[in-house]
């Protein structure tokens, strides 16, 4: 009997299944790591097979599986781990390791079939990108000849030869993931050696050239292919689906690559296909009705492509479809009622495809819908109260439409709703935020830029915890006090209201806040002292208020800081650069700042610097052009700067806007400016510059706007200037230029001002063409808008074809046709300001401006209404 019990113990006790040497190897590993969360607390005693994450093969009596995924372990990986000779499964993903992972060449891990090191390294986050401090020696993995599963997503790869050669030697691989590993070059032919491969993921690398036709025939039975996020990887993909080997594919993801052409017709014959993602590519054409053949299709993403035409009716009969993403395409024709038949839909993204009419009520039949995005369309009417029936909704985005009426108050069933975006519509009425109390999961609420008046009871305590709140232009007269309890709040926008108080001190103590926009209010008072301002805000926008006092700028982590159009005074702190080390956008314009521009104001990452319309004096710091190497916009206009222009502008190679007008700068224009081949706007007007117009300006081939007005330039206008291919606005007025104005002025698109010079004659200039500028899908047509104002002493008749010139000595201001259109008279300076602004709007393209015009339909509409008025004014002046 005793012998039987002994035998049973041998087969049932895990204690003897963990050899003492392997237990010690695991303890060595534990000693080398930092276990802040005590996840390895069970690693003690002799019974290592019961330790968390450790599994043993009782048959062979060795540690066979080590799964430490998501343990948040830090430090280095001990080499003792590589001595576990019978280890078959090793998962170290989602940790914070440092150093190098490099198994020895003695084939100790020859039994390893599964290795997952994805997201295993500590990532040092910086402005230039996230950098992993964990390295994997790819050559050392070539010894792991039994590997069937290898995942190295988002780790640094250390390799001394072609990465494909190493990976190709692992001939037993069935699944390979090397996403975001920094791989470059072409997809290597050596991957053809992976004859057992079923899943291939090389997404978000730097692969280039063409997708090879053999990629789908690697094994003859590839199940999933993911090459997404390789922005330079392109070509024609007509080969997909042509071979029998393609018929096994269940997932194809080529989104955010450079592929082009039409979707191959053979794809519609891959009956097993469950996932097709081609978003953000140059794919075009219509979706054929043959898509109905994909009976297993669950996810279709064609957003941000050139797909056009109507959505084929066959899609509405696909009973397996869960995700349909067609946003930002040329799809037209609206949403048919048949959409309600696709009862399996969970995600529906149809934003920015020109859907008209009222909210499509057939969508309300989709009871499983989790995400619904109909933003940036032309939906009208009211939001139906029956939207409450979509009880599974987590995200609802109806922003940037033309919806009106009130916000429905019946939302008791939307208990799962986390994100509600209704901004930029025409919703109206008085609303209390308490109507959202039933939305207990609410996380993000955007109501900005409607016609709402939001009423917030001072005693109200919300039933939800917000991370994002946008109440811009909601007729608020104070900052809501309930926000003091929103400890999870990350994004707060209360812009364009009528708030007249000081900024409350508690707002700086919200522990999670990283983006704060209180712009366009009537805020008073000053910024808190340096000791009480937070260090973690990424974006702070307080422009267009009445804040005063001196500047406190300790926002070391900020990317955007806009304090323009206030009443700040004093000098810019000399140590400003130390507090703005990650800054991308800095605007202090339209204040009362004085003194010198500090040498330290530029940081390696600063892209936009606007100090215009202050009273800054002294010279432009010579170090400015050396330290500001990343600048794309520099605006120092309308200050009291003096001296000569620095001679090192060529260091700022990425600059596309340089405005130094309205100062007291003297001397000649340094030729180093010609090295800035990205320059689109150059405004040096209203200074004391002299000399002849340099011929090297002709090298600035990207230049759209050139303003040199009101200086002391003499000589003739170089033909190289007139020949600039992209030039639209040229202002040389108020100088001492002489000679003939070149006859090829018709190359210019918008405006020429050569007034108040010494020209003796103007050659015959004819301009009858229509010029259309296409930008972001919008076509802007200029007809006969060659605008030459000649208020010169020896000007004779100016022959034009079909147009006449407003030719008077007083400039634009006395053109009666302009006065009739505007509410106020337009001065010469205002018209020149508009002209420069037009060039800026076309040439600048900076993401802040573009973002506002793109995201806010109301602002976009007003901007183009103003544009129409100004164009009519100029046309009236020309024809008047």
pLDDT in tens, 387-413: 999 999 999 999 999 999 999 887 778
pLDDT exceeds cutoff 70 at 839: no
Q: How far apart are CA 10 and CA 217, in angstroms?
A: 50
> Within a 10 A sphere around the Cβ of 535, how many other Cβ atoms?
10
What are the angstrom distances between the C-alpha of 128 and each of 122, 185, 316, 584? 16, 22, 44, 11
Percent of the chain with pLDDT over 70: 78
- Per-residue pLDDT of 188-198, as tens digits, reads 999 989 989 99
Angle at 818 between CA 817 and CA 821, to 5 degrees: 90
385-389, 428-432, 735-739, 828-832: the lowest-pLDDT one:
828-832
- In the structure, how many helices (H) and strands (E) does the chain have? 11, 60
Q: What is the pLDDT of residue 576?
A: 78
- Per-residue pLDDT of 611-628, as tens digits, reads 999 999 988 887 777 778
Distance from first CA to last CA of the chain, Å, rounded?
A: 119
pLDDT exceeds cutoff 70 at 39: yes
- Per-residue pLDDT of 661-701, as tens digits, reads 999 999 999 988 888 778 999 999 999 999 999 999 888 88
SS (H, E, C) 227-289: CCCCCEEEEECCCCCCCHHHHHCCEEECCCCEEEEECCHHHHHCCCCCEEECCCCEEEEECCH
The arithmetic mean of pLDDT across residues 369-394, rounded, is: 94
pTM above 0.95, yes or no: no
Confidence of residue 528 (pLDDT cuts 50, 70, 90): confident
38-42, 361-365, 381-385, 873-877: the lowest-pLDDT one:
873-877
Which range of 233-242, 474-483, 753-762 scores highest in mean pLDDT? It is 474-483
Q: What is the pLDDT of residue 246?
A: 62
Confidence of residue 60 (pLDDT cuts 50, 70, 90): confident
Which range of 637-641, 757-761, 835-839 scores highest in mean pLDDT? It is 637-641
User: 807 versus 274: which is more confidently predicted?
Assistant: 274
Sign of the Cα torsion 66, 70, 71, 77 reads positive
- Per-residue pLDDT of 284-327, as tens digits, reads 999 999 999 999 999 999 999 999 999 999 999 999 999 999 99
pLDDT exceeds cutoff 80 at 16: no
Q: How far apart are CA 136 and CA 133, in angstroms?
A: 10
Q: What is the pLDDT of residue 339?
A: 92
Q: How far apart are CA 394 and CA 415, in angstroms?
A: 9
User: Taking all residues of the chain, what is their mean pLDDT, rounded to a whole number?
Assistant: 81
State whether residue 637 is helix, strand or coil.
coil
pLDDT exceeds cutoff 80 at 344: yes
Q: What is the pLDDT of residue 667?
A: 93
């Amino acid at each position: 009997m005793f012998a039987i019990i002994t035998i049973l113990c041998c087969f049932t006790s895990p204690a003897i299944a963990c050899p003492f040497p392997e237990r010690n190897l695991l303890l060595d590993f534990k000693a080398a790591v930092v276990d802040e969360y005590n996840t390895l607390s069970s690693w003690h005693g002799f019974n290592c097979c019961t330790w968390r994450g450790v599994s043993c093969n009782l048959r062979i009596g060795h540690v066979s599986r080590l799964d430490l995924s998501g343990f948040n372990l830090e430090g280095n990986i001990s080499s003792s781990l590589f001595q576990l000779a019978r280890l078959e499964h090793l998962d170290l993903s989602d940790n914070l390791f440092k150093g190098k992972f490099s198994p020895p060449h003695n084939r100790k891990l020859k039994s390893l079939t599964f290795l997952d090191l994805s997201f295993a390294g500590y990532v040092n986050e910086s402005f230039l990108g996230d950098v992993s401090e964990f390295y994997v020696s790819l050559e050392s993995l070539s010894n792991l000849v039994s590997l069937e599963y290898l995942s190295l997503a988002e780790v640094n790869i250390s390799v001394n030869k072609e990465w494909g050669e190493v990976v190709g030697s692992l001939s037993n691989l069935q699944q390979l993931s090397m996403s975001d590993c920094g791989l470059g070059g072409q997809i290597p032919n050596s991957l053809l050696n992976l004859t057992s491969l079923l899943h291939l993921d090389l997404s978000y690398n730097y692969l280039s050239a063409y997708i090879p036709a053999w990629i789908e025939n690697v094994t003859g039975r590839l199940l999933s292919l993911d090459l997404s996020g390789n922005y330079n990887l392109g070509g024609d993909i007509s080969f997909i689906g042509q071979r029998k080997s393609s018929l096994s594919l269940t997932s194809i993801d080529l989104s955010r690559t450079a592929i082009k052409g039409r979707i191959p017709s053979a794809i519609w014959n891959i009956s097993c296909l469950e996932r097709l993602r081609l978003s953000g590519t140059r794919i075009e054409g219509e979706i054929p009705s043959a898509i109905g053949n994909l009976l297993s299709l669950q996810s279709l993403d064609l957003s941000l492509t050139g797909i056009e035409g109507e959505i084929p009716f066959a899609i509405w009969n696909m009973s397996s479809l869960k995700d349909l993403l067609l946003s930002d395409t040329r799809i037209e024709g609206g949403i048919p009622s048949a959409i309600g038949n696709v009862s399996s839909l969970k995600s529906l993204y149809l934003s920015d495809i020109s859907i008209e009419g009222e909210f499509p009520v057939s969508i309300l039949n989709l009871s499983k819908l989790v995400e619904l995005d109909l933003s940036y369309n032309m939906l009208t009417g009211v939001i139906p109260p029956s939207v409450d029936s979509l009880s599974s909704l987590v995200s609802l985005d109806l922003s940037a439409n033309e919806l009106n009426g009130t916000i429905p108050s019946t939302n008791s069933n939307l208990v799962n709703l986390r994100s509600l975006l209704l901004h930029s519509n025409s919703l109206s009425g008085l609303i209390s935020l308490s109507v959202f109390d039933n939305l207990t999961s609410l996380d993000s609420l955007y109501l900005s830029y409607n016609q709402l008046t939001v009423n917030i009871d001072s005693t109200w305590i919300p039933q939800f915890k917000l991370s994002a709140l946008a109440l811009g232009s909601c007729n608020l007269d104070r900052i809501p006090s309930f926000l003091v309890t929103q400890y999870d709040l990350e994004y707060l926008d209360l812009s364009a209201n009528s708030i007249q108080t000081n900024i409350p001190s508690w707002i700086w103590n919200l522990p999670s806040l990283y983006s704060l926009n209180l712009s366009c209010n009537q805020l008073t008072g000053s910024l808190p002292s340096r000791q009480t301002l937070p260090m973690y805000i990424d974006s702070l926008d307080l422009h267009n208020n009445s804040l005063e006092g001196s500047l406190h700028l300790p926002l070391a982590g900020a990317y955007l800081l806009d304090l323009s159009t206030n009443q700040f005074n004093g000098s810019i702190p000399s140590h400003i650069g130390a507090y703005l080390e990650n800054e991308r956008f800095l605007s202090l314009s339209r204040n009362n700042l004085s003194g010198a521009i500090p040498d330290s104001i530029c940081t390696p990452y600063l892209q936009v610097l606007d100090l215009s319309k202050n009273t800054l004096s002294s010279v432009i710091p010579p170090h400015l052009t050396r330290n500001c190497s990343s600048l794309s916009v520099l605006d120092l206009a309308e200050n009291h700067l003096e001296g000569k222009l620095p001679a090192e502008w060529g260091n700022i190679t990425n600059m596309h806007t340089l405005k130094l007008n309205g100062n007291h700068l003297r001397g000649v224009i340094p030729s180093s400016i010609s090295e800035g081949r990205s320059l689109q706007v150059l405004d040096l007007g209203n200074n004391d510059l002299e000399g002849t117009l340099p011929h090297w300006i002709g090298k600035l081939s990207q230049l759209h706007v050139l303003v040199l007005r009101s200086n002391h330039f003499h000589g003739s206008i170089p033909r190289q200037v007139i020949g600039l291919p992209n030039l639209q606005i040229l202002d040389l007025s108020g100088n001492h230029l002489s000679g003939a104005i070149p006859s090829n002025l018709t190359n210019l698109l918008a405006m020429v001002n050569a007034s108040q010079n010494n020209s003796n004659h103007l050659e015959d200039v004819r301009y009858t063409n229509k010029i259309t500028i296409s930008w972001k899908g919008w076509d802007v047509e200029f007809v006969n808008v060659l605008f030459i104002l000649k208020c010169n002493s020896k000007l004779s008749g100016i022959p034009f074809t079909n147009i006449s010139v407003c030719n008077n000595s007083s400039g634009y201001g006395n053109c009666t046709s302009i006065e009739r259109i505007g509410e106020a008279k337009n001065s010469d300076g205002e018209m020149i300001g508009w002209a420069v602004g037009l060039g800026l709007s076309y040439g600048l393209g900076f993401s802040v401006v573009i973002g506002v015009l793109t995201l806010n339909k109301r602002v976009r509409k007003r901007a183009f209404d103003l544009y129409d008025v100004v164009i009519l004014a100029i046309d009236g002046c020309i024809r008047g």
